[in-house]
Amino acid sequence: GAVVSQHPSWVICKSGTSVKIECRSLDFQATTMFWYRQFPKQSLMLMATSNEGSKATYEQGVEKDKFLINHASLTLSTLTVTSAHPEDSSFYICSATNWQGAMSYEQYFGPGTRLTVT
Amino acid sequence: LAKTTQPISMDSYEGQEVNITCSHNNIATNDYITWYQQFPSQGPRFIIQGYKTKVTNEVASLFIPADRKSSTLSLPRVSLSDTAVYYCLVGDNKAAGNKLTFGGGTRVLVKP
């Protein structure tokens, strides 16, 4: 249980185009999803927190107009990289929280999406 | 959010026990300690979580002293497939919107 998927697993796009990445919780309802970005040999960096039915909360330094996040349902959040540039090339990872009972949540990560902007 | 400090890298050999210590001096009362494993080009995978004392599961043990200012992940009898980056995180997992802050992680290389 508690599986999170991402689509696509990798994508190559031309500079100036937009790319949408989907994050789905397959067997649970996720009230909160998170989006991370990871550059080679670096740690994960949180970009934004996405709550179902409300606007995402972006971390400092992350452009909300460039990285559009939509969390329209309890099982789907999307990240759209608008007007992508080569410096946006990175590994994008989502995670979703699931109630574990005993008043605790656990965070489950997707497999990641490799974005390459040419 | 409590900050964590881990060694940048560790080398080991197959069959050995690997212990990775993480410092989290500012851990809060409600914070749990969670360890994740990440292979290249994959999302992090949950290994173990604890609040205090010792927790053991089928893949690892987690030792947490009474002051909770540090924790040690113990991987028994590692194999080549345990080569990965291991992240120590602290956070209040009683909040659905709890954010996890990833530190630098420890790059473990298991040699034959």
Torsion of CA B40, B44, B48, B51, to 10 degrees: 130
Beta bridge partners of A31: none
Chain B residues close to A103, C-beta within 8 Å: 94
When pLDDT is cut at 50, 70 and 90, the band that residue B95 belongs to is low
DSSP A55-117: --EEPTT--TTTEEEEEEETTEEEEEE-S--GGG-EEEEEEEEEEEETTEEEEEE---EEEEE
Query: Is any Cβ of chain B less than 8 angstroms from the Cβ of A25?
Result: no
What's the farthest any 2 CA atoms get from each other in chain A?
A: 48
Whether A31 sits inside 8 A of B32 (CB atoms) is no
**pLDDT at B76 (0 to 100):** 95
d(C-alpha A78, C-alpha A75), whole Å: 10
Q: What would the two tokens of residue A29 be? A: 């309802």
Q: What is the pLDDT of residues B6-56, one digit of tens each?
A: 999 999 999 999 999 999 999 988 888 999 999 999 999 999 999 999 999
Query: Which is higher by pLDDT, B16 or B90?
Result: B16
Nearest Cα residue in chain B from A114: B41
Q: What would the two tokens of residue A101 be? A: 């009972």
Radius of gyration of chain B (CA): 13
Nearest Cα residue in chain A from B103: A43
**pLDDT at A104 (0 to 100):** 56
Whether B94 sits inside 8 A of A99 (CB atoms) is no
Beta bridge partners of B21: B72
b/e per residue, A83-97, with b = 16+ CB within 10 A? ebeeebbbbbbbbbb
DSSP B44-83: -EEEEEESSEEEE-SS-EEEE-TT-SEEEEEE-S--GGG-
Nearest Cα residue in chain A from B94: A104
Q: Which of A49, A91, A106 sits opposite B93 (nearest CB)?
A: A106
Angle at B31 between CA B27 and CA B36, to 5 degrees: 95
Q: What would the two tokens of residue A107 be? A: 């965070």
Peptide bond before residue B40 is cis, with ω within 30 degrees of 0:
no
Q: Which of residues 77-96 of A touch B (CB under 8 A)?
A: 91, 93, 95
Chain A residues close to B101, C-beta within 8 Å: 46
Query: Is any Cβ of chain B less than 8 angstroms from the Cβ of A11?
Result: no
**Parallel, antiparallel, or unpaired: how do β-strands A4-7 and A19-25 relate?**
antiparallel
Query: Is any Cβ of chain B less than 8 angstroms from the Cβ of A63?
Result: no
**Parallel, antiparallel, or unpaired: how do β-strands B9-13 and B106-111 relate?**
parallel
Each residue's pLDDT, cut to its tens digit, for chain A (118 residues) gives 689 999 999 999 999 999 999 999 998 888 889 999 999 989 999 999 988 888 899 999 999 999 999 988 889 999 999 999 999 999 999 999 866 555 556 788 999 999 999 9
Q: What is the pLDDT of residues B43-74, one digit of tens each?
A: 999 999 999 999 999 999 999 999 999 999 99
Nearest Cα residue in chain B from A111: B43
d(C-alpha A78, C-alpha A27), whole Å: 17
Query: Is any Cβ of chain B less than 8 angstroms from the Cβ of A105?
Result: yes
